[in-house]
Amino acid sequence: KLLISPSSAAVYACMKKYPIHGDGCVVGIFADDGRKFKSVYATQNVMSEQEFEDALKEAKHMSELAY
């Protein structure tokens, strides 16, 4: 699971479009994470505020010091 921003989600979706052959890889750069989108996600029914808080606690890819 990743807690990412809408723009990072678009990067991830594009990365998933390309098949990886052999030893190849696809690299995507996520410019930000999903921390500042709590109200947006709740308003657009992406996840509830409680689901957001739970996802934030479980997000191993983000430093605890940042939140």
How does pLDDT run across 2-16, given as a tens digit for each residue? 788 889 999 999 999
What pTM was estimated for this model as a whole? 0.65
DSSP secondary structure letter of residue 62: S
- Can you tell me the mean pLDDT for 49-64? 83
**Amino acid 33: pLDDT:** 77
Q: Would you list the domain boundaries of the chain?
A: 8-17+31-60
Distance CA(53)–CA(16), nearest Å, equals: 27
**Amino acid 13: pLDDT:** 94
Question: Which residues partner with 56 through β-bridges?
Answer: none
How does pLDDT run across 15-46, given as a tens digit for each residue? 999 888 899 888 999 888 788 888 898 999 99
Distance CA(62)–CA(35), nearest Å, equals: 9
Integer angstrom CA distances of residue 27 from 13, 15, 39, 41, 53: 12, 7, 29, 26, 28
